[in-house]
Amino acid sequence: MNFPMDRASPSVKYPFAAIAGVTAAALLCVAGAFQYYQFESEYQRQSPDPYQISAQFLRLAPVEAAVPRAAVMGYLTDAPPGSVVDSALIASAEYVLAPRLVIRDTAHDWVLGNFTQPADFAALGRRAGLRVQQDFGNGVVLFRKDTQP
């Protein structure tokens, strides 16, 4: 089949109802996005991060720099076991320190101390067979397995 090259392609005419419907749907999507943004902004102002999960990146940054990425780390805390604070502390540590594994025991060469109150961290470590490698402040302590007899 040969088609003449000088013929213009036919223009398609859509019904007004179809054009109006697509336009209304697009406008509703844009309006919904703006409304969701306003709702989420107000919610974030009223309900800030109660467990300071986002602050853990800054708080645990020195540990992240000091411990090898392939390490398996133990975990020591003063938060009551099973409490919401305990769960938030260990979950945020696992998230921030990934790909390092953080395991709730003190049987590893590296142990993260993640405390809510000031204390004698060296004494707490000694009871678990650990020595303080470095106290980073703000309740963050890096322990090492004490190999001395």
Do 67 and 144 form a contact (C-beta atoms < 8 A)?
A: no
* Range of lowest pLDDT (38-47, 63-72, 88-97, 103-112): 38-47
pTM of the predicted protein model: 0.67
Q: How far is CA 38 from the centre of its chain?
A: 23
Asked if residue 113 and residue 72 are part of one domain, the reply reads yes
Cα-based distances in Å from 43 to 37, 46, 48, 56, 129: 10, 5, 8, 21, 46
Q: Which residues pair with 102 in a beta bridge?
A: 73
23 lies in which domain range? 14-48
For residue 149, what pLDDT band results from cuts at 50, 70 and 90? low
Asked if 33 and 61 sit in the same domain, the reply is: no
Residue 69 and residue 131 in one domain: yes
81 and 24 in a single domain? The answer is no
60/44 same-domain check: no
Residue 2's pLDDT is: 59
Tens-digit pLDDT profile for residues 64-99: 999 999 999 999 999 999 999 899 999 999 999 999
For residue 106, what are the contacts with CB-CB under 8 A and spacing of at least 6?
74, 75, 76, 128, 129, 130, 143
> 76 has which bridge partners?
113
Both 41 and 98 in a single domain? no
